[in-house]
Amino acid sequence: MKPDAATRYSRYVEFMNKIADIRNAGAVLQWDQETYLPAGAAEARGRQIATLSEIAHAHFSSDELGDLLQELNGSGDLTEKEKKNISLTLDDYNKNKKYSPAFVRNMSEQITRSFHAWMEARKKNDFVVFKPELEKLLQLKKEEAHILGFKGHIYNAHLDEHDKGLTVEVTDKLFQDLKKVLKKILPDLITYDEEPAFDFSMKKDLQWKLGIEVLELMGFDFQFGRQDISEHPFTISFHPTDVRLTTRINESNFSGMLWSCIHEGGHGLYEQGLPQNESGLPLGEACSLSIHESQSRLWENCVGRSIHFCGFLLEKLRLYDPEKFGKTDLQTFYRAVNKVKPTLIRTESDEVTYHYHVLIRYEIEKELMEGALSVAEIPERWNQLYKDYLGLDVPDYKSGCLQDIHWSHGSFGYFPTYTLGSLYAVQFFDTYKSTNNNWRQEIETGQFNSIRNWLKVNVYDYGKFYNSLELCNISTLHPLELSRFSEYLDTKFKTLTASII
């Protein structure tokens, strides 16, 4: 690299790290808001987060940065990775320039108000408490779509934000094809569905200890991360050396806490594994939310709900509660962990019916964005779709349309990434297995170095160099294939069904 280009690129890195520092300071305040913030501090916290958002926006839309990016863009004196950082940053810069400082502040403050209204609504089990703040936030998200610009459906603006190139047309086709797969497999699970319930109760302190132990075995490094309790499990990262996970605990069902830990642990490993030398730059960021969700779903389902991990876990549980688990055989435990039965709560649903939960949210968001559905009509529409798709009656708001945190964050367009992530997860895991003949024995003995190393080389280290579909092609040597996911479900659940007939 010529001296002039080297100097300008160093200035660019310095500029981007400063912006990352401001954004991450805001993210720390957000994490605190969702874990330890006193109830009376909500208004002040909203102002603080909004101020940092506005400052970060000002830096990222400054003429100085724009001139620097234009000077570096297309320079023949940069490495391939440096060129990619510049082109991706320039795309984000041009998008960011479309926002006014007032809009950025307004959006940030409204998200804070919406989050606290959602928390209060859940406590009171009353959607009406959340409704006015969600209406304001939805209006801002519609305005944002027009600010960003879109082709076709207005919802495309937000789908693209979470996975570049994702559209309503693509997502509709995905769910159309997936519904055929789910309808084909579900009738074979009727007998399995009738199996007696398994006792997953466990005291809070034991659950916490178990969750931490499993996260450590997965390789989550607590020297550079921590776990706390929140209303809704999430992962947030301020740097690969500071990654925070949260979970929630229900003493009557430790499976919810445990697989939540494994799910968030998958997110956490991705964040801890991103290239530190690219921190603050696009190549130090996750590829997309679909790929991020592939990491959590891979650990949660492909590993965590496999018979190999269940055998390992059962041995652990016998140490935690010998009286309850001492006489439990592996097949009984494995079937209980993978029991297929429609439930109201998305985060506690099985691998088969899970995607109906995602589809319901996708359909509602699409209707909200296009104006076919009002916020006031959400509960009725939600309940109708749960009856149509899962045959369930929704008894209250907390187990219905107030269960997810996403809308309070303004995260419209996020939900489809859970299903896409599940498809990517299976394909990544299949490819990993083909490289390691000992994968079964390693999972059975709680050894996860090889799978973590494979993910580091084939997913983490690329950062944002490729988009989701490109990364899938590079890492698995195939495009994303629904047939791989269909085969995975068919093989796993027909085997489970056959074992109890």
Closest CA to 455 of 478, 480, 431: 431
**CA gap 204, 254 in Å, rounded:** 8
Tell me if 274 sits within 8 A of 286, measured CB to CB. yes
Three-state SS string over 16-85 comes to: HHHHHHHHHHHHHHHHHHHHCCCHHHHHHHHHHHHHHHHHHHHHHCCHHHHHHHHHHCCCCCCCHHHHHH
Known catalytic residue at 264? yes
Q: Show the tokens assigned to 451.
A: 């799978």
Strand, coil or helix: what is 239?
strand
Tell me if 20 sits within 8 A of 12, measured CB to CB. no
Tell me if 41 sits within 8 A of 112, measured CB to CB. no
Q: Report CA dihedral (173, 178, 183, 187) to the nearest 10 degrees.
A: 180
Q: In what side-by-side order are the strands of the sheet with 242-247?
A: 225-229, 242-247, 235-239
Number of H helices, E strands in the chain: 22, 3
Tell me if 115 sits within 8 A of 409, measured CB to CB. yes
Angle between helices 449-458 and 416-435 (to 10 degrees): 110
Q: Which residues contact 165 (CB under 8 A, 6 or more apart)?
A: 467, 469
Active-site residue, selected from the candidate residues 161, 264, 285, 300: 264
Q: Show the tokens assigned to 198.
A: 């398994």
Q: Which residues are catalytic?
A: 264
